[in-house]
Structure 1
Amino acid sequence: MKKLGNVISSKMKERFSPDQMERQLNALLKHPLVVKYMVEHEVSEAILKRSFSKLHQFVQENENCKQCLRLSECPNLMKGHFPTLREYGGFVDLVMNECSKLKVKKEEERRKNLIQCQQIPLDIQKATFQTIELDHGREKAIDAALDFCLRIANGETVKGLYFCGSFGTGKSYIAGAILNTLAEYGIPSMMVHTSALAQELRDTIAKKEGLLNSKLEALSNVPILVLDDIGVENLTSWLRDSVLAVVLHNRVSNQLPTIYTSNLTLDELEEWLSITLSNGYERHEPLKAKRIMERIKPYVTVVEVQGRNRRYALNNNAN
Structure 2
Amino acid sequence: MESLGEMLQQMKSPQFRQRSEQILNNLLHDPLIQELRSRHPEISENQLTLNLSKLYQYVNDSRHCSACPGLDLCPNDFQGHFTRLTVETVTGRSQLYDRQVPCSKHLAREREIEVKKRIHSFYVDERAMQEGYDMVEIMSKDSMRSPAVGQVFRYINETRENGLSPHGLYLVGHFGTGKTFLMTYLLHELAKAGHSGVIVYMPEFVEDLKSMLQDSQKLKETVEIMKEADLLIFDDIGAENLNPWVRDHVMGAILNYRMNRKPTFYTSNYDLKALEKHLSFTSKDGEEAHKGQRLMDRIAPFVDVVAVNGTNKRGSRK
Asked if Structure 1 and Structure 2 have the same fold, meaning a TM-score greater than 0.5 normalized by the shorter chain, the answer is yes
**What is the alpha-carbon distance in structure 2 between the residues aligned to residue 308 and residue 171 of structure 1?**
12
- Corresponding residue for residue 297 of structure 1: 300
Partner of 2:278: 272
Asked whether the 8 Å contact 2:259–2:298 carries over to 1, the reply is yes
Counterpart-to-counterpart distance in 1, 2:270 and 2:175: 10
Q: What is the SS of the residue equivalent to 2:125?
A: coil
1:257 aligns with 2:263: yes
1:203 correspondence with 2:211: yes
TM-score (norm 2): 0.63
Contact 1:127/1:180 (CA < 8 Å) preserved in 2?
A: no
> 2:228 matched to 1:225?
no
Q: Give the SS at the match of 2:227.
A: helix
| Alignment-derived partner of residue 216 in structure 1 | 223
User: 1:70 and 1:169, CA in 2 relative to 1: closer, same or farther beyond 3 A?
Assistant: farther
In 1: Cα distance, 2:159 partner to 2:267 partner: 19
> Over alpha carbons, which structure has the higher Rg?
2
Secondary structure, counterpart of 2:286 in structure 1: strand
Question: What residue is the counterpart of 2:11 in the other structure?
Answer: none
**Hey, what's the Cα distance between the residues in 2 that align with 1:210 and 1:246?**
16
Structure 1 stretch displaced more, 167-176 or 150-159: 150-159
**What residue is the counterpart of 2:186 in the other structure?**
178
1:153 aligns with 2:160: yes
Distance 1:230 1:70, change over 3 A: farther
- Tell me how far 1:21 sits from its aligned partner: 3.5
Task: Name the amino acid aligned to 1:120.
Answer: D
Size of the aligned set, in residue pairs, is 235
Matched residues in 1 for 2:152 and 2:296: separation? Answer: 22
**How far apart are 1:139 and its partner, in Å?**
1.2
Q: Are 2:254 and 1:247 equivalent residues in the alignment?
A: yes
Give the unaligned 5+ runs of structure 1.
1-10, 28-52, 75-79, 81-100
**Shift of residue 104 of structure 1?**
6.0
| Structure 1 residues 137-194: Cα deviation after superposition (integer angstroms, max 9, x where no partner) | 2111101100111112224343200000111111111112111222322322121100
- Distance in 1, Cα, partners of 2:280 & 2:177: 26
| Residue ranges of structure 2 left out of the alignment (5+ in a row) | 1-50, 56-85
- The structural deviation recorded for 1:243 is 1.3
**TM value normalised by structure 1:** 0.62
1:202-231 deviation digits (Å, cap 9, x = unpaired): 22222x201110100001111111111100
2:255 maps to 1:188: no
> Residue 307 of structure 1 aligns with which residue?
310
**Residues 236 and 268 in structure 2, CA contact (< 8 A), matched pair in contact too:** yes
Go from structure 1 to structure 2 and tell me whether the alpha carbon gap of 1:124 and 1:141 turns closer, same or farther (over 3 Å shift). Answer: farther
For 1:22, the equivalent position in structure 2 comes to 89
Taking the aligned partners of 1:146 and 1:26, their CA distance within structure 2 comes to: 55
Q: Residue type matched to 1:196 in 2?
A: E
Aligned identity (percent) is 29
Deviation at 1:308, TM superposition (A): 1.8
RMSD over aligned Cα atoms = 3.7
Mapped to 2, the partners of 1:229 and 1:195 lie a distance apart of: 7
1:230 maps to amino acid: I
**CA distance in 1: counterparts of 2:172 and 2:225, whole angstroms:** 25
